[in-house]
A and B are shown apart, each in its own frame.
Chain A
Amino acid sequence: MHADPRGVLTGVHFLDGDHACCEGTLAAGARFAAGYPITPSTEVVERFAWRIPTVGGVFIQMEDELAASITMQGAVWGGAKAFTVTSGPGFSLMMEHIGYAAVTETPCVFVNVQRGGPSTGLPTLPAQADMMQAKWGSHGDYGIIALCPNSPQECFDLTITGFNLAEEFRVPVMLMLDECVGHMTEKVVIPEPDQIEITPRRYTKKTPEEFRLFEPREDKVPDMVKAGDGYHFHVTGLTHDERGYPSMTVDTQDKMVNRLQDKLKPFTNGRAIFEAADLEDAEVVVVSYGITSRVAQRAIEMARAKGIKVGKFRLITAWPFPEQHIRDIAAKVKALVVPELNLGQMVREVERSAGGAAKVIGVPHAGGTVHNPEVILKAIEEAVR
């Protein structure tokens, strides 16, 4: 299906990442947003509040992030494509509702423009230190998808991808921007609506009598319904059977929790989204994401100029982690260098996936600014030594 033209601002624009993300939500068909202001993410909802009345939809500023993250989900069950936006402290408040979205298989999008933490931290400065939180922040076992754009253009493009994946897999999708990407202004090309692919919600074709809310299709994902269509369905955050009814048995738990993770398995390999270059002859590969990938690019070019065979692997889907790809690369190279704006988060995943086949060198940074490319270069040089 193609994008609804009413939401698409076709043309060449000069936008920051937050605004581009907002245009992505509109192009993706989002007609509902619930938010609570917090730097450096507020511009996303500010623009949505400005745009939505002439597109047709609702923006509501809620009383806190606990509310915003569940109001969004109410809207989804009412039939809307919906999202919420936050940063740092607000993301922490949303954790319970990431779990709720995961277990109720509510397709929705959480935008997190990462800033320095912990706590109030560095409200106006970048970090990438919520990566583990995005994956593990809610209690229990479940799966989510996380996408990491590294430019305003990607903030637009990946927001659409995020909404599409949320519908395809019925999961909460995290758009993990960072303050730099959110606030940098660059050229953003918004295509014609008929050039934008949209995944519609897969509503059941079954009758209310036949329909079971959590009966998976072959791809392990169940069909959707919405309130008001006569299905009289039940949604609960309790462990539930395929009818959606609470069932406190070990069997139900085992089946439900495993399926929540299994349905996302394709992202560990075939469905992983990434950008790779110069892997063929590489002795060292730099694995990075978000703003850090752009700083790493500079370091890679400097290393190449020095004759070092260095390749790049940029994570776009950070979660589920593209294990198989990293495993394959690790089998062929001496070392993997992982710079990130935190004290070592995704580097652990790289290490785990590499399984000892290659050396893994983290380049941590506490956040507040980006790496100096020289520091990454030094790590690359060390890696080939």
Chain B
Amino acid sequence: MSECLVDIPADAINPVEPYLRSERIPHIWCPGCGIGTTVNCFARALDESKLDLNKVAIVSGIGCTGRVAGYAALDSFHTTHGRAIPFATGLKLANPELQVVVYSGDGDLFAIGGNHFIHAARRNMDLKVICVNNLTYAMTGGQTGPATPDHVISTTSPYGVFEPAFNLVQLAEAAGAAYVARWTTFHVKQLARSMEEVMKKRGFCFIEIISPCPTLYQRRNKMGDGLDTMKFYKQVSKIRNGAPTSECGLTKSGEIVVGKFVDRDRPGYFEMLNAQMTETLGDRYVIPEASSCGDC
């Protein structure tokens, strides 16, 4: 028999409920999975940001994290594996008034979609990219990905990973991101704040969230369950805002540097486009407006 530890009033509402498609709950994620925690932070960030939710769109690729789009009560797109960023690019360019969030996994964004990530960052496309980095390809059963640290055991590295992993925050900075931060699912307050911050920041923004996949990653590597992972994150993470991203690489059980590393102003894609066209075409340039081909 279960017993409630706190009295929840009958008319209580969950503050994040308006941001989720409650008719689609229960979700598919495992107990102890970190993805739900990040979604909770995202909902809180939306709440705090006071954005017009009709003008926020979310785009995901494929994977456990790729399912986030389907649970958000926004215009939402579950695209193909690796292609959330180019889809989001088209959405943003056709409808510049949208705030476009890309929410996807480490494999999706940095293996099959890695090329799109660096090019969108280079263009400073106005996208808010949120990566749930569970250090593995979870949806397909826990294979090695481009962010899997050395010595980790996965189904495709049964004797241990030996390929060097990407340092995602360093990659994002080098490619041109205007904003780069990393948190773990232990840092819910900071994460929600970062998410809220990027909603107000123009340009290509990147938040990496180190997140447990107890079912496939932690279990296989004898790192415990979801709760053990929280304790581990608490123990090994160090908040170092402004830390050089080159010093933020991850190892299997070493320090996790978290914080906001980059927050800079670069001209955005539209700014550069408009400036160049105005310079060369003058009055003949027609600034692209939000399309509406039903009544054009």
In the complex, whether A200 has a CB less than 8 A from a CB of chain B is: yes
- CB of B93 within 8 A of CB of A31, answer no
Min Cβ gap B107→A in Å is 16
Contacts of B290 in A (CB 8 A): 78-79, 228
Q: How many residues of A are counted as interface, with CB atoms below 8 angstroms from the partner's CB atoms? A: 55
In the complex, residue of chain A having the shortest beta-carbon distance to the beta carbon of B74: A232
Give the size of the chain B interface in residues (CB under 8 angstroms). Answer: 50
Kindly state whether residue B191 has any CB partner on chain A within 8 Å: no
Q: Which of A54-80 contact B (CB under 8 A)?
A: 54-58, 60, 62-64, 66-68, 70-80
**Residue in A57, A71, A237 whose CB lies within 8 Å of B86:** A71
* CB-CB nearest in chain A for B89: A71
A32 near B90 with CB under 8 A, answer: yes
Whether the pair B79, A100 counts as a contact (CB closer than 8 A) is yes
- For A14, the chain B residues whose CB sits under 8 A away are none
Kindly specify which of B43-51, B218-226, B251-259, B279-287 makes contact with the partner chain. Answer: B279-287
Q: Does the CB pair A97–B80 fall under 8 Å?
A: yes
A234 at the interface (CB under 8 A from B): yes
Residue among B78, B80, B94 with most chain A CB within 10 A: B94
Distance between A203 CB and nearest chain B CB, rounded to angstroms: 5
B59 at interface, CB cutoff 8 A:
yes
A366 to B70, CA, bound (A): 47
A269 at the interface (CB under 8 A from B): no
A246 lies within 8 A of chain B by Cβ: yes
Interface string of B245-287 (1 = CB under 8 A from A): 0000000000000000000000000000100010001001111
A183 and B82 CA atoms in complex are apart in Å by: 34
Q: Is the CB of A237 within 8 A of B79?
A: yes
Q: How many angstroms from the CA of A271 to the CA of B96 in the assembled complex?
A: 37
Given contacts A31-B288, A58-B94, contact A202 B80 (CB under 8 A): no
Q: Is the CB of B83 within 8 A of A246?
A: no
- A29 pairs with B296, CB closer than 8 A: yes
Q: CA separation between A63 and B95, bound complex, in Å?
A: 21
Which residues of B have CB within 8 Å of A72?
90
State which of A71, A201, A231, A237 has its C-beta within 8 Å of the C-beta of B75.
Answer: A231
User: B70 contacts which of A56, A229, A245 (Cβ < 8 Å)?
Assistant: A245
Which B positions have Cβ atoms within 8 angstroms of A? 21, 24, 53-55, 57, 59, 69-70, 73-80, 82-83, 86-95, 97-98, 115-116, 119, 273, 277, 281, 284-296
A-B contact pairs, 16 of them (CB 8 A): A31-B288, A32-B94, A54-B281, A71-B86, A71-B87, A71-B89, A75-B91, A77-B90, A78-B290, A80-B95, A81-B293, A227-B75, A228-B75, A236-B77, A236-B78, A237-B79
